[in-house]
Amino acid sequence: MKTPLQEVIETIKEYRDMDTCDTETCNTILMHIASMIEKERRVILHAFLDGYLHSPDEGFIDYARNYYDETFNTKEK
């Protein structure tokens, strides 16, 4: 599964490979969107953890991070 930003990145990469594309513009857009991935991660984790803010459990926070990384396949290999 991919996050919405990851899906946008893939779409722009596909467009960039077309003959009618402005490659420089696509690359600029891709760099900006890629820089937003960490922000998207924080927003998703915050939403996931929102119900647990009154009694933060470090184990659950690690679980949430792992869930995000595994679900959205963002962990570096």
Q: 22 to each of 16, 26, 30, 41, how far by Cα in Å?
A: 7, 6, 12, 29
- Looking at the whole model, is its pTM more than 0.95? no
Q: Please report whether residue 53 resides in a domain.
A: yes
75 CB-side CA count, 13 A: 8
Q: Please report whether residue 9 resides in a domain.
A: yes
Q: Please report whether residue 77 resides in a domain.
A: no
Q: Which domain holds residue 46?
A: 4-71
Task: Quick: pLDDT tens for 36-71.
Answer: 888 888 877 777 776 566 556 667 777 777 877 888
Distance CA 4, CA 58 (A): 27
**Structural domains of the chain, count:** 1
Percent of the chain exceeding pLDDT 90 equals: 0
- Quick count: other Cβ atoms within 10 Å of Cβ 3? 19
Single-letter code of the amino acid located at 30? L
Q: Please report whether residue 24 resides in a domain.
A: yes
Q: Across residues 15-31, what is the average pLDDT? A: 85
